[in-house]
Structure 1
Amino acid sequence: MTVICPAGELDLSRFLRRGDRIVAGQACGEPSTLLEALLEQGEKIGELSLFIATSFSGLLTGESDAFALSSMGAIGALRTAARAHRLRVVPCHVSRIGPMLEDRTLGCDVAFVQVSPADGEGRHSLGLISDHVRAAVHAARTVVAEVNDRVPYTFGESLHVSEIDCLVTVSRPPIQVPAAVPSPVDTAIAAHAAPYIGDGAVVQVGIGAVPDALLRLLGDRTDLGVHSGMIGDGLVDLVEAGVVTNARKEIDAGVSITGALIGTDRLYRFADRNPAVRMRAAAYTHDAAVLGRLTNLVTLNSALEVDLSGQVNAEQSGSSYLGGTGGQVDFVRAGARSPGGRALIALPATAKGGTLSRITAALSGPVTTARTDVDVIVTEFGAAELRGRTLAERARRLIEIAHPDFRETLSRTAHEIERRGY
C-alpha cells in the first residue's frame, strides 16, 4: 500500500533502516526534497550511503555526516565533495550502472526518485531522468517517490503508483541548468567539429559550452536526428528551426531519444507530453546493439587531456578528480563503428590560463578512452583524425592541434616515438 505524505511530514525512519544503501535519481531529475530530508534525518538513522551519478542541486557537498556519498564521477556539484575528499568514486560506464543494480553488484536497498503527477491510469512518468531509475526501483526494497507537479510528463519510462511505497507530494521548480555561454575558444573548437555533422546525421552531444556552441552552428543542416544520453535547451532551437526531424533514422524515426533532460523550463515545457521526445533507460540509449543500428552517428564528448598516442583522460587531473567515465566509451565506440559516423573528443588546447598543455606526452590521470577506440580529437587549432594511423603519425597530428607554445616540447617526445616506432 502506497503511503502519501506531504513533504513537511516526511519521516524517513519509517522507510529507511540503519545501514541502507540508497540510489537517487540524478541531474535535473534529482529528488531535492528527499535529499534535503535525508541530510536532516540521515545521521539519526545511521550508517546510510547514497549513490548518485551526477548532481546539480548543490546539496551534496560532502559536508554532512548524514550518509556516505558515492558516484560514477565528480560531475556537476559533486566536484565540491571530491575536493573535500568526501566522494567515493565507482569507475563505470553509464551502460553498466543498470546491470550492476540488477545483479546487486551495486547495492540498492532504497530508491529515491522524482516523478511527474500520474496520468489517469496511475502511471507517473520519470520526467527529467530515465537512465538507471527503473533498474534501481526493481532492485530496491523500498521506493520513495517525490511527486512534483512542476515536472513535465514525458513519454517513455514510467512508474506505476503500485510500485511506490511512499509518495511525497511537492510543488517546486525542478533543477535547471542554463545553456553555457561559449567562449571564443569554445566556438573555435565547435567550428572544427561542425563539418563532421552532415545532413541526416544522428547526433549525440552532452551539455556544456562546446556542445552548445556546436548546436548553434548546425542551423543550415537538414533532417538531423538525435540519440543521446542527455539533451539540453539547444535541441528546442533545432527542432523549431526544422533542422532536427529524425526523419532518416533507421530506428525511432521522428523521435528524439534521450535518457536525461538537462536544461531550463524552456526544454521542460517543450518535452511535456511531446511524442517527438522519448525518455529511455541507459540500457537503450547506451546499448551497443541499439547504437549499432544507426548510420551516420556522430558523437561528441569531452576530455581533460589527451596523450600523443591518443589515450584520453576525462576523469582526473593530477590529484584532482574532476569528471567521470560516464557514457564516453559507449558513444565513442558507437560513433567510430557507425557507417558514415565519427566519434569526436573535444577539449581546449591548454589549461590553467594557458600554462599547461592538454595535449601531453603522458597523461596525469587515468585512461578513460583507450587509444584503440579513439577516432577524432578536436581543439581550437583543428581536428586530428587518428583512427587507423600509426603511433608516429598520431603524435604528429596531435602536435598540429596543440597550442603553438608547446609544440616544440611535444615534438621531442614525438621524435622518440618516430625513432622507436611505438
Structure 2
Amino acid sequence: MEEIEKNLVMQLTDKSGTPVLWQDFIKSGNRIFIGSNAAVPNALVDNLIDNSAHLHDIETVHILTFSDNVWAKPEHKDLFKVNSFFIGGKNVREAISEGRADYTPCFISEIPTLFKQNILPLDAALVMVSPPDEYGYCSLGVSVDVVAAAVKSAKYVIAQLNPLMPRTNGHSFIHVNQIHAWLEAEQKLPEIPDAVMDQVSERIGQYTATLVENGATIQVGIGKIPNAVLKYLANHKDLGVHSEMISDGIIDLMLSGVINNRRKTFHKGKTVVTFCIGTQRLYDFVDKNQHVEFYPSEHINSPVNIAKNDNMVAINSAIEVDLTGQVVSDSIGYQFYSGIGGQVDFVRGAWLSKGGKPIIALPSTTKDGEISRIVAHITEGGGVVTSRGHVAYVVTEYGIADLVGKSIRERALELIRIAHPKFRESLLQEVRKHYWVPPYQDNTPTSVPELGSVELKKFTLGGERFILRPLFPSDERRLQEFFYSHTKETLMMRYNHHMTQMTRESSCKLVSVNQHQDLALCFTKRDHLGEVIQAVGRYYYIEAINAAEVAFVIRETQRSKGMATTLLLQMIKIAKKRNLSKLLACVRRDNAPMLKVFENAGFVKGYSEDFDEISLSLNIEEQPEEQETDDEQG
C-alpha cells in the first residue's frame, strides 16, 4: 500500500490532477532546460528517465547544477545530449572531458537572450518551485538566475513542486497557469557548508577587504576566499549587496547591520541576487525575507545595472593570471573546468561604476605550491575570460597588484610582486624575453615580515585614511611623480642640495630595496583609480656598527598630520625586532619640524662635523615594546 501511494505521488500530472505522459510534451531531438544551482529538479529528471520509452537525443541545457547530474552519466548518452553553459559536478565535467557533452561559453547576463530570441529555442523547461500560495503563485525560490528566462521562453514548463523550497521575494514568481505539468516531490536542497579557511585565504581576505570602503556595494561568490573577505568586512559600515549569488557568509553581516544597503544607489535598502547556495541556515534566512530579493540574471548581471551602484566592488577568482593582466577562469589548459559565468558582467559593471573596483583574487600557487598561478604566459589551451583591459586589481596572499593605468612593463612588475617569492626571479627573467625591461631593473620584490602577515596597515591621520606599506619595485613611476611634487625647499631639506631630476633609472634604484637588510616604507592614498605616494621613510643598514641611518620626506600637503612620527615609530619597532643597536639621523639645523619629530621619539643630539646639520641617535636596546598605533590593520 505504501509503495502504491509513493507511485501515485510521483506521477506526472496536469493542473487538474490528471496523469500525463512525458511524451505529451517532449519528443526525441527536443531541447530541454534543467533548473540551476541548488534548485535542480532531481525527482523530475529521475521520473523522465524512468518513463522515457522511445525518447532519445534530447539536448539538455543548463548552467551550474549542484546535483549528481544523472543525465550526464554514460548510461544515458543515447537519451540525453548534454550542453552546459557552466561546468560543475563530476558527471558533467567528465562527460565534457570525454567528448560526450558540450560546453557553450556565454556571459550569464546573455544566456537569457539565447532562449528569448530562439537562438537556442527551448521545447521544455524542467524546474523546481515551491507549492502555490492562495493566489496560485509558486516561487522559483533559491534559483531565479536564467531559470526565469527559460520559464518564459519554453513551449512547456514542467515543474517539481517541492514543499522544502523557500519562498523568496523579488521577481521570483510563476503562476500555476504558466505550468503545463508537475510532479509533487519533496527534495532536500543541497547544502554546501562553509569552506574551512586556511592561512592563504585568510591573507587574501584581509588584503581584499582593505579595498572595500565603507558604504560600498559588493559582489562575492562562494568558497574559502569569499568567506575570508566577508570575515574581514565585519568592522565595515553600511555595505550593500548586488551579487549574482550569496552564501552563508552574508547572514551574520546582515544581522549585525554591517550589510544594511542604506547607501546603495540601485535597489536601495535591498540585498539583490539571482541565486543562493549554502546550508539550511541560508535557505531558512532567505525564506520570505523581505530584505533579500531575487531577480533574473539579465537584470542583476547586466553591466549597465551593476554600474548604477556607486562604489561597486566586484570580487572574482581565477585559475591563472598572466603578467599582462589576462585572466583565465574557465579552463586549465585544454581542459574546460567551469565557465565564464558572471565574472565579466561584474568586472565590467564595477569598472563603469562611480568609484567602482573590479578585483581578481586568487592564491599565488596551486594547492601543492609547485605551480605559480601568476604566469609569464597563459598555459597552452587556456582561454582568456577577462581581458587585460578589464582588470583593475589582482590580489594574492602576498598583496595587491594595482593595474589601473599601468603599462605592460609596470603591470608585470606589479604582478611579480604578488607572486610567490620562489617564482619571482624566474618570472622577471621570462618577462625580459618578450617585453622590454631596462637592464637596471634587476631586483625582485622582498618583504617586510615585521609588518605582519599582511604587509599593510590603515591609519587615520588628520581625518583622512592612508595606507602604510613597503615601497615596491613597481613604485618606480609613483616615486618619480612624488619627487616632482616637491618644492625646492623640500628637496634641499631632504637631499641637502637642489636636485632637479629624478630619472627612471634613479627612481628604480630607490624603489628596488632589499627590505630584509634596508627598509623603505611609504604612506599612500588610494582611490578607485590607484595609489599616490604621500610620504616615504627609509633606513640604510650600516653593518659595521649594526645600526641604520633614517631619512624621511613628506608631501607638502600632508604635513603636520603625524606621518613622519608614525613612520618613525614603525621603523623603530622593526629595528628592535631585527636587533639593531642604534638608529641614526642627520637633519639640517633649520629643519625644526623634523628635529622635533626625532626628539619626541627619544633621539638625542650628538656631535656633527657639519655646522649646518645636527646628528641624532637612538639606542634601540633601551626602547620599550611599543603598542600598535594604527586604528585598523589590513
Calculate the TM-score normalised by the size of structure 1. Answer: 0.95
Is 1:68 matched with 2:81? Answer: yes
Is 1:9 matched with 2:11? Answer: yes
Distance in 1 separating the partners of 2:275 and 2:436: 47
- Tell me the CA shift for residue 352 of structure 1: 5.4
1:204 aligned partner, one-letter code: Q
1:54-73 deviation line (CA, Å, top 9, x unaligned): 01112244323220111113
The 8 Å contact of residues 63 and 85 in structure 2, kept in 1 or not, is answered as yes
Distance in 1 separating the partners of 2:316 and 2:73: 27
- Tell me the CA shift for residue 43 of structure 1: 6.8
Is 1:194 matched with 2:204? Answer: no
Give the structure 2 partner of residue 38 of structure 1: 48
Question: Which residue, out of 397, 400, 411, partners 1:394?
Answer: 411
Distance 1:140 1:410, change over 3 A: same
CA RMSD in angstroms, aligned pairs only: 1.7
2:38 aligned partner, one-letter code: C
Secondary structure of the equivalent of 2:38?
Answer: helix
- Tell me the CA shift for residue 130 of structure 1: 0.7
Give the structure 2 partner of residue 134 of structure 1: 148
Secondary structure of the equivalent of 2:245?
Answer: coil
Give the structure 1 partner of residue 424 of structure 2: 407
- Structure 1 segment 133-282 matched on structure 2, within 5 A: 133-156=147-170, 157-282=172-297
2:31 aligned partner, one-letter code: R
The 8 Å contact of residues 7 and 170 in structure 1, kept in 2 or not, is answered as yes
Distance 1:125 1:361, change over 3 A: same
Unaligned runs of 5+ in 1: none
- Tell me the CA shift for residue 122 of structure 1: 0.3
Question: Which residue, out of 137, 154, 164, partners 1:123?
Answer: 137
Give the structure 2 partner of residue 50 of structure 1: 60
Distance in 2 separating the partners of 1:326 and 1:173: 25
Give the structure 2 partner of residue 96 of structure 1: 110
1:15-49 deviation line (CA, Å, top 9, x unaligned): 21111101111100111111222343447311101
Distance 1:290 1:206, change over 3 A: same
Give the structure 2 partner of residue 382 of structure 1: 399
1:303-354 deviation line (CA, Å, top 9, x unaligned): 0001110000001112321121000000001112222221111111111511
- Tell me the CA shift for residue 247 of structure 1: 0.7
The 8 Å contact of residues 271 and 291 in structure 2, kept in 1 or not, is answered as yes
- Tell me the CA shift for residue 413 of structure 1: 2.5
1:62 aligned partner, one-letter code: K
- Tell me the CA shift for residue 250 of structure 1: 1.1
The 8 Å contact of residues 304 and 349 in structure 2, kept in 1 or not, is answered as no
Distance in 1 separating the partners of 2:354 and 2:33: 37
Give the structure 2 partner of residue 27 of structure 1: 37
Structure 1, 249-258 or 391-400: larger mean CA deviation: 249-258
Distance in 1 separating the partners of 2:311 and 2:97: 39
Is 1:371 matched with 2:371? Answer: no
- Structure 1 segment 276-291 matched on structure 2, within 5 A: 276-291=291-306
Distance in 1 separating the partners of 2:437 and 2:238: 47
Give the structure 1 partner of residue 356 of structure 2: 341
Distance 1:207 1:196, change over 3 A: same
Structure 1, 367-376 or 315-324: larger mean CA deviation: 315-324
Distance in 2 separating the partners of 1:75 and 1:376: 27
The 8 Å contact of residues 86 and 340 in structure 2, kept in 1 or not, is answered as yes
The 8 Å contact of residues 83 and 104 in structure 2, kept in 1 or not, is answered as yes
Secondary structure of the equivalent of 1:17?
Answer: coil
Distance in 2 separating the partners of 1:16 and 1:185: 49
Distance in 2 separating the partners of 1:80 and 1:232: 26
How many residues in Structure 1 have an aligned counterpart in Structure 2? 417
Q: How many percent identity over aligned positions?
A: 37
Secondary structure of the equivalent of 1:189?
Answer: helix
Distance in 2 separating the partners of 1:179 and 1:144: 32
Give the structure 1 partner of residue 599 of structure 2: none
Secondary structure of the equivalent of 2:189?
Answer: coil
Distance in 2 separating the partners of 1:356 and 1:326: 25
Distance in 1 separating the partners of 2:95 and 2:286: 32
The 8 Å contact of residues 299 and 342 in structure 1, kept in 2 or not, is answered as yes
Distance in 1 separating the partners of 2:336 and 2:313: 28
Secondary structure of the equivalent of 2:234?
Answer: coil
Higher relative contact order (CA 8 A, sep 6+): 1
1:119 aligned partner, one-letter code: D
Calculate the TM-score normalised by the size of structure 2. Answer: 0.64
- Tell me the CA shift for residue 283 of structure 1: 1.4
Distance in 2 separating the partners of 1:165 and 1:340: 47
- Tell me the CA shift for residue 417 of structure 1: 4.8
Give the structure 1 partner of residue 321 of structure 2: 306
Unaligned runs of 5+ in 2: 1-6, 13-20, 439-634
Secondary structure of the equivalent of 1:44?
Answer: coil
